[in-house]
Chain A
Amino acid sequence: MSIEAIFALLISTTMVYSAPLIFTAIGGTFSERGGIVNVGLEGIMVMGAFSSVVFNLSFAKEFGAATPWLGLLVGALVGALTAAVHGVATIFLRADHIISGTVINLITPALGVFLIKVIYNKGQTDMIQQNFGYVDVPLLNKIPVIGNIFFHNTSAPAWVAVIVAVLAWFLLYKTRYGLRLRSVGENPQAADTLGLNVYGLRMSGVLLSGILGGIGGAIYAESVALNFGAATIAGQGFIALAAMIFGQWNPLGAMGAALFFGLSQSLAVIGAQLPVIKNVPSVYLAIFPYVLTVIVLSVFFGKVKGPKADGINYIKSV
């Protein structure tokens, strides 16, 4: 394999595996910037994957090639509903954030498989016919070498994810909404005193995490797994959580980390085709993101510097 072909394969696979992580990690960033810890990202992805696959199977005939994209919208909606449960529990009902998030993670695979059994009478769905596949980015793919490596046979949702990351960064750091969201994650008391609606802002952050996490799950289902079953989303949400922490609760950082984790995931898949990497047992590549998270979290970051009021319930005093 030529160097160019190796890079092209590596980058296109990395983009495929990164896209769900980028979306979900940015979602987590919004939630935690607003002060709500969201370990339920995994469960939100499960619901996004579940709903998009069911939608895809039901409507592929009507919508043709547009089906996977519409599936993202369905995933976003169902993801938002899932996150809303977490938001109501933590923001209004004073639940512990970790317990609520863990409940989301426990209930969603069971609910998904339960509904699949009720609808299809079997434990997992058929393969979807309309998936994201590989596309060329028009114009950009004409650039010599670079076009071939980055924009030929690439994953369209991945490039959308990159754009969303930039937009999310702008929203969080350059708009009034972003400033307010961050302020309720740092010091809700002060934000409240200034007249900000702490509960509403926190809820908006959680809902954004649901929308983006749902899209992330839908992308994974419609570009990698291609069906839904108990093990469709196995750890993706937790890797996204790790990417969010690596990214220091910054959308662009989260994107960078997600790309890196996507690379390591894709190596576990295509490693056998690559020189050097093919000699590394696949288990090392599989555990790499998790081990790296533990090491970086401990040795380099020390005490994690997240938003100050992250995970602390705000109780408005009367």
Chain B
Amino acid sequence: MIEVTRKDNGLVAILSVVLGLLVGAIIMLVSGFNPIAGYGSLLQSAFGTPQSIGEVLRQMSPLLLTGAGFMVAQAAGFFNIGLSGQAMAGWFGSVWFALSFPTLSKLILLPTTIIIGIALGAVAGMIPGWLRARFGSSEVITTIMFNYIILYVGNSLVQNTFKKSIKATTESSVLISNHASLRASWLTNLTNGSSLNIGLFIAIIVVVVVWFVMKKTTLGLEITSVGLNDSAARYAGISDRRTATIAMVISGGLAGLAGVVDGLGTYQNVFVQNAVPGVGFDGMAVALLGGGSYLGLVGGAALFSVLKIGGLGMPIFTGVPTELVDIIIAAIIFFVGINYVVRLLIARFRKVTTKPNPLLVPVTANGADKAVVNGEQETSDGSESKKPTKGDEA
């Protein structure tokens, strides 16, 4: 059934976005804000100046990476809920290394720093991947647990392990040197001093590479086949454990790179966090909205970046708290999650206006069949399943 309607993914995504924005509008109305003014200020804040456009583009880079990371894991049948922790590992590790060797030449320092960030994210993804492949432990639980382990270890590093010389306060580090920065003066100047950096180009190139690997290479095929049916994949000679672990390594590595881009490009330092960075959860949301398509991923990342950056300006213009954006994003994912309903609506709409829809055909055929052949039995069947529940068990 899903296979037949997969081509509707784009429509489902658009409807989910519309419904999510509607939820946001209702919440604004109920809390005494004007939704039109609210969304107007959101667009104004996102597109009003070259600087804000730069920030929107900058915001896209980590989302593209964590989103792609989620998709690779998903292709192998993993629900990687630990992208946030993996990103934090990449962020903290790369910045710590950059702070420790500030005087190395840029040609050596920058690549090394990036590789260290990717490696830390990859390790953070590999362990849950390997644990599931080896012991069958649920990656949903283990990656959630790893989020907290990485959060507390990262915070403790800043508070207790960092040398005095690289600390700005007890809770934050000094800024990294220019040698490790992803900022480029031409990008900063082009966007009137936004934090847009070459992380965007890294992200775009990497997403293209990931798309190529997943769709055009043997490894991609192996990962996808393990995700679809691991027994069949094993029968076809693919090592399912190894492939699944590799998928989680790639997934974590991409999340780690997202952390690097944030650390070396956006924030330029590390500081104690209340929770693991939201970029992992947002990337997961982007990927879910994209519905398994890499083009959808880019569209989702663009949309969420506009919402995120626009949301920052909302309190200034209209007093609507920034948190509204997170509510909208979560609502959009909720509607993607209950896409069965959205699909049903689409199907019903189609049925009224045009030819019968493939989604509805089996349902109506089945129902009509029952209704004609033993219509009476259907009603008694329905009541039968409820009535005798009262006293049939000893």
Contacts and interface: CB of A to CB of B under 8 A. Distances in A.
Interface stretch (B43-51, B137-145, B242-250): B137-145
Interface of B: 27, 31-32, 79, 81, 127-128, 131, 134-138, 140-142, 144-146, 148-149, 152-153, 155-156, 160, 274-275, 281, 284-285, 288, 321, 323-327, 329-331, 333-334, 336-338, 340-341, 366-367, 370, 378, 384-389, 392-393
Interface of A: 39, 89, 93-96, 98-100, 102-103, 106-107, 109-111, 113-115, 117-118, 176, 179-180, 192, 194-197, 230-231, 234-235, 238, 241-242, 245, 281-283, 286-287, 290-291, 293-294, 297-299, 301-304, 318
B321 A118 contact: yes
Instruction: Say whether chain B's binding surface is mostly helix, strand, loop, or mixed.
Output: helix
B370 A318 contact: yes
A109 B326 CA distance: 9
Contacts of B385: 192, 195, 197
Contacts of B138: 297, 304
10 contacts: A95-B334, A102-B284, A103-B337, A114-B327, A197-B385, A234-B274, A291-B149, A303-B135, A303-B137, A318-B378
A197 B146 CA distance: 38
A197 B329 CA distance: 34
A114 B329 CA distance: 14
Given A39-B144, A299-B135, A304-B141, 4 more contacts: A94-B340, A109-B326, A118-B321, A294-B146
Given A195-B392, A238-B144, A318 B366 contact: yes
Contacts of B341: 93
B142 A294 contact: yes
A113 B142 contact: no
Given A106-B329, A110-B326, A283-B160, A89 B334 contact: yes
- Say whether chain A's binding surface is mostly helix, strand, loop, or mixed: helix
B321 A283 contact: no
A117 B386 contact: no
Contact of A114 (B145, B324, B389): B324
A291 B156 CA distance: 16
A282 B149 CA distance: 13
A30 B128 CA distance: 27
B333 A103 contact: yes
Contacts of B370: 318
- Tell me which of A96, A103, A238, A297 has the highest count of chain B C-beta atoms within 10 A of its own C-beta: A103
A103 B334 contact: yes
B327 A111 contact: yes
Contacts of A196: 389
Contacts of A231: 274-275
